[in-house]
Amino acid sequence: MALTLYGIPFSRAFRSLWAANELGLDYAHVPTHFMKESKQPDYLAINPNGRVPAMVDGDLVLFESMAINLYLARTYGAPLRVDDPADEARAVQWSFWGITELEGTLLKAMFTALGLFGEEADPARANETLNKGAGRALGVLDRHLEGRDWLVGGDFSVADVNVAGVLNLALSGRLDLSQWGNVKEWLDRCYGRPGAKKTLEMARAARG
Ligand SMILES: N[C@@H](CCC(=O)N[C@@H](CS)C(=O)NCC(=O)O)C(=O)O
């Protein structure tokens, strides 16, 4: 089967769609909703976790957004692949870091900011959650980006898509990132990329 990505853009599938768009790949997109189609037997045969995203490329079936993106970068190359082994390890490091140090707090804060999943919309409380749960990690990222345009090796890469993809939760929730100026500037650079713009457009079109 040709490359197929599963998952609506308003989900963690955003990251993998972004990676594929940045690579200029010709792929099929199946807009699987994480509360509906992802629980159906035909999708569970692809991702038994019932979550999105998932990817099929030939004989390879993958779940986990970071694994999908690292595979796409390694397989399809510029502008996402990191060739130097040490820098590739750094890209993996930042990818794990994004989902372990940032993602849980960002999700919680976004739900609070937007009043999703039974929460009452409360932007002030969302920003408190952000500071308390992710302030230290965002400080680490901000200091790492001092004097750097991109996370790893001097060029835009899969590391940027993976971490900025996680931070899309903060952008969607309009969370206040102003105290992390380097992070904000880097996010502007990342979201100015053609692949990011195309994926945001897909998300807008899907919302109607
Ligand atoms: N660690 C996974 C998380 C995937 C995930 O939880 N996706 C959500 C949508 S953003 C989902 O499918 N939720 C449905 C569920 O938990 O049943 C990844 O990064 O791919």
Global confidence as pTM: 0.97
The pLDDT, as a whole number, for residue 68 is 98
Residues 89 and 39 in one domain: no
Tell me if 65 CB under 6 Å of ligand 1. yes
- Confidence bin at 37 (pLDDT 50/70/90): very high
| The pLDDT value given to residue 207 | 85
Over pLDDT 70: what percentage of the chain? 99
CATH number of the domain residue 131 falls in: 1.20.1050.10
Pocket probe mutation, ligand 1, options 46, 52, 61, 101, max atoms within 8 Å of Cβ: 52
Q: How many domains does one find in the chain?
A: 2
Nearest alpha-carbon partner for 160 in 85, 70, 62, 71: 70
Centre of ligand 1 from the C-alpha of residue 12, in Å: 6
**Residues 93 and 116 reside in one and the same domain:** yes
From the CA of 171, how far away is ligand 1's center (Å)? 18
Question: In this structure, are 66 and 127 located in the same domain?
Answer: no
Note down the domain range covering 14: 4-79+197-207
Q: 34 CB less than 6 Å from ligand 1?
A: yes
Ligand 1 pocket test target in 16, 51, 162 with most atoms within 8 Å of CB: 51
Kindly tell me if the per-residue pLDDT of 76 is higher than 90. yes
Look up residue 9 and give its amino acid.
P
Residues 99 and 153 in one domain: yes
User: Residues 178, 135: one domain?
Assistant: yes
Q: 146 C-alpha to center of ligand 1: Å?
A: 32
**Residues 52 and 36 placed together within one structural domain of the fold:** yes
Q: What is the CB neighbour count within 10 angstroms for residue 154?
A: 10
Q: Which two tokens stand for residue 74?
A: 């390694």
- For the four alpha carbons of 171, 176, 177 and 178, in that order, the dihedral sign comes to positive
* Amino acid making up residue 90: R
CATH code of residue 38: 3.40.30.10
Question: Nearest residue CA, atom 5 of ligand 1?
Answer: 51
63 and 131 together in one domain: no
Does residue 102 have a pLDDT over 80?
A: yes
Closest to 77 in 3D by CA, of 25, 116, 29: 25
118 lies in the same domain as 180: yes
- Model confidence over 4-14: pLDDT tens digits? 999 999 999 99
Ligand 1 lined by 50 (C-beta under 6 Å): yes
Q: In the beta sheet, which residues pair with residue 57?
A: 60
Residues 68 and 123 in one domain: no
Atom of ligand 1 nearest to the CA of 52: 12
Question: Is the same domain home to 121 and 63?
Answer: no
Q: Cα of 65 to ligand 1 centre, how many Å? A: 9
Helix (H) or strand (E) holding 6: strand 4-6
HEC profile of 149-195: CCCCCCCCCHHHHHHHHHHHHHHHCCCCCCCCHHHHHHHHHHHCCHH
Q: Ligand 1: does its nearest atom lie under 6 Å from the Cβ of 110?
A: no
Q: 1: pLDDT confidence band, cut at 50, 70 and 90? A: low
Determine the Cα–Cα distance for residues 142 and 137; give it in Å rounded to an integer.
9
The number of the ligand 1 atom at minimal distance from the alpha carbon of 39 is: 17
